[in-house]
Chain A
């Protein structure tokens, strides 16, 4: 069943994760296409994850490979190689949904833009500037399209770089030290990413945006300047003005990219430091390996080991031979000194114990009494003396009123439970308590607190 392009696209946008997965696969493997197997597996996984049957059917039709080919979302299906390539425009749209997936402009793409601008300049130089000249009009349209496109690409690129710098900085700027090998591996990978972005995206972008950059070829902004001058000389001042505006707009990203460069610079120093350490260790290891191999001559082995190694090169040159047996200690022949010492300690301890007098410990008569205990005693005394007698319709309500009246400021709602418990103790032999479950739970509000309870009746 064929589903129209717009509906298929809407469904794909609704299920962005699917396309994000394909984009990630292509980026990780630096490919422009994906293997058919990856496509099929992702589709199956996606459809299995959907619970609604109708939805599954709908997506199955929409995301069917043939439907995607018909609707033009898949631009190339290579049966012999088993690869699928998506329409670049579609991929770019999905990249825009997630900054992390926006691709930065690399040297090749920037050079491509420069060549395009250069071509436009050359074609303009040969043109007669006249509004009657159709070729001129076409070239002018092409020029403005190109400038618009370059401006937008540079803007996306700047945003991408800012996002990447922010993301990588967050991963590297942690207060905690790197304490595990896994953490250290992760940090190292991030540092490598920083280096990659710095070398392959930031520096080429800065070179692209720097009109004064020395190079054998003219810088893109210089080319745009020359085009603008051409328009100005030939009497198209308005167009020249707009071209200048585009140039300024493109140039305005320089500062932002420079800021990103400065942000990443310190990580780059870290990365360089690590690289130097690794290189130094590798070099020392290879040197050691070579020396080892050269000592493997049957006759001379062992005897002239490492004779090649210049002693002056050794860092710990002349380090003394270590022997724990050389520890200086007092020798007391035929006597086990530690035994005597332990015996002495035991004797000392025993003497100490026998000489020490026992301290008389008395209970502190002025112990800090828990204020709650005092209150409890007061409540108990009050309940013992109170004149509330069965029959009682609602024990909680009665006691609450009684305690409020007698305890005044000290009273809190939770003391009521203790009061009830004391009262139950008091009357347990003379009266019978019935819990009334038929009525809804009662509530007592007091000082912003609420006590919910089942009513209790007391009968004689």
Chain B
């Protein structure tokens, strides 16, 4: 049975392009906890799915890890610039991080994470800037602002109590899928 109050919050998040992660980070305790919004959608998936279909959206459950909505059929001819921005940012963060020889786990551990200073290299090297500019990123804003606008605001990253950026379940599952594609 759909809970009215939760469904309003869920709608508010999904319609604004946010994802609903399985786990939510609690700054006070510096721990990950179950996200009751995720559980609400998960337990009433069929009802929510029908609900969003009626307003021309598809409710997507990815990697058993997060939910988001996409428009049905609508913008197929358009260039998916939003998605490209998000994915390009994630790939560049991953590349900057791994190129420096760090363990990828640090980026997904909610107690660890990465300082924004360590990601600044993305805007100081031409090879990364070329990609970012082509994806309409970092033209007028800095990398921190872009990450906040495109990843943190959407629930793909969060800032932990140490002020470090960490990938949420949704952000991490993007890399999981990349690795799975690459498996022999």
Task: Write the residues of chain A forming the contact surface with B, with a CB cutoff of 8 angstroms.
Answer: 177-181, 184-185, 187-189, 274, 276-285, 288-289, 292-293, 295-296, 304-307, 309, 311, 314-324, 326-328
Cβ of A177: which chain B residues have Cβ within 8 Å of it?
Answer: 109, 111-112
Q: Is B140 positioned at the interface, with any CB of A under 8 Å from its CB?
A: no
Instruction: Tell me how far the C-beta of A276 lies from the nearest C-beta in chain B, rounded to whole angstroms.
Output: 5
A317 contacts B70, CB within 8 Å? yes
Given contacts A178-B112, A276-B182, contact A324 B153 (CB under 8 A): yes
Number of B residues with CB within 8 Å of any CB on chain A: 61
Cβ of A316: which chain B residues have Cβ within 8 Å of it?
Answer: 68, 83, 86-87, 174
Q: Is B134 positioned at the interface, with any CB of A under 8 Å from its CB?
A: yes
B58 contacts A318, CB within 8 Å? yes
Complex Cα–Cα for A358 and B101 (A): 65
Q: Is B3 positioned at the interface, with any CB of A under 8 Å from its CB?
A: no
Task: Write the residues of chain B forming the contact surface with A, with a CB cutoff of 8 angstroms.
Answer: 8, 12, 14-19, 58, 60, 62, 68-71, 75-76, 79-84, 86-88, 91-92, 94-95, 98, 100-106, 109, 111-112, 114, 118, 127, 130-131, 134-136, 149-150, 153-154, 174-175, 177-179, 181-183
Scoring B14, B91, B111, B154 by chain A CB atoms within 10 A of each residue's CB, the highest score goes to B91
Instruction: Tell me how far the C-beta of B17 lies from the nearest C-beta in chain A, rounded to whole angstroms.
Output: 4
A288 contacts B154, CB within 8 Å? no
Task: Kindly list 8 other residue pairs between chains A and B, CB separation below 8 angstroms, not including A276-B183, A319-B17, A322-B82.
Answer: A178-B112, A181-B100, A184-B103, A184-B105, A281-B175, A292-B135, A305-B81, A327-B12
Cβ of B62: which chain A residues have Cβ within 8 Å of it?
Answer: 315
Scoring B136, B153, B178, B181 by chain A CB atoms within 10 A of each residue's CB, the highest score goes to B178
B83, B101, B105: the one contacting A317 at CB < 8 Å is: B83
The residue on B at minimum CB distance from A309 is: B84
Complex Cα–Cα for A184 and B182 (A): 23
A288, A295, A309, A320: the one contacting B16 at CB < 8 Å is: A320
Scoring A285, A306, A319 by chain B CB atoms within 10 A of each residue's CB, the highest score goes to A319
The residue on B at minimum CB distance from A184 is: B103
Scoring A283, A295, A316, A323 by chain B CB atoms within 10 A of each residue's CB, the highest score goes to A316
B98 contacts A277, CB within 8 Å? yes
12 contacting pairs across A/B (C-beta < 8 A) = A179-B106, A179-B109, A181-B106, A185-B101, A185-B102, A281-B104, A305-B134, A306-B134, A311-B83, A322-B154, A326-B16, A328-B12
